[in-house]
Amino acid sequence: MANRSILTLMLSFLLIMPSLACADLGPKPTMDFSLVYETSKQVQLLGGEQFECEDANCADIKPLLQVGPQRFTCESESCRSMAYGYSRYQKLVLNFSDRTRESNVFKSGAFSSNYVVRVRDDGLFVEDMTPPSVGRFLLFCVSLLVTLVLESVAALVFVVFLKLPRGRIVAFVAVANIISLPIVWLVFPLLGNAILVILLSEAFAVLFEAAFIHLLNKKILSLRLALALSIVTNLMSFVVGNILLWLSLSM
């Protein structure tokens, strides 16, 4: 019965992971665009798209996918995008009340990049204005702390329910996260492709944490139980991350 319950839990996680994986608490690369109008007549921004490519000529150009928090949005004087990881080069195509304008091809910048977009009669010109990064490390630390608390609470509930030793297992769950989360948040986004980032990073997190916890607790925790524990703890941070993401986008 216990094995069947674990299998059911694993299958349920795999089914809902695509919708929740996009909602983890880790910091994600962003691009902020401030529009400066230099047109001869007043125009109004209606919307637009951000495109990506791997070479400076943009021969392989493709739109930035909308997956979970990964998206491109605009207001009257600014646009913003968030992604699991960006391709090397970017381009904007914005729709205005008089016509559609395309930008120059520009390089992806820092983790949190700031650009000025000069709106001219004949097109858009994007300039990188990113200041030295001061907040990225703080954002990472806060995200890591919140995730550790959430997953430790989930681990505690799990071990209490199964009447397993509490302190040792919960402690190793925290250690496993300290090792895996920097890789998930900072290394996998370098892949650039959102689908690959989601699938590979979340699979890595679940499998690595399960193996790590099991190897250090072989006498009290089987591999199947360790895998179930890893699924439960990661699911906890996914669900809460989804709620926090929804709240932040609603503000």
Report pTM. 0.59
How far, in Å, are 78, 98, 120, 123 from residue 41 at the CA level? 19, 9, 10, 14
Condensed to tens digits (0 to 9), the pLDDT of residues 154-177 reads 999 999 998 888 888 999 999 999
For residues 111, 112, 114 and 117, what is the CA-based torsion angle, rounded to 10 degrees?
70
Amino acid in the structure at residue 61 = I
Condensed to tens digits (0 to 9), the pLDDT of residues 65-110 reads 888 778 999 998 999 999 888 889 999 999 999 999 999 999 987 7
Condensed to tens digits (0 to 9), the pLDDT of residues 164-215 reads 888 889 999 999 999 998 888 778 877 767 778 878 888 899 999 999 999 9
The residue-averaged pLDDT of 23-49 equals 87
Question: Which structure tokens are listed for 3?
Answer: 């094995």
181-200 b/e (C-beta count within 10 Å ≥ 16 → b): beebbeebbebbebeebbee
Domains observed in the chain: 31-128 (2.60.40), 134-250 (no CATH)
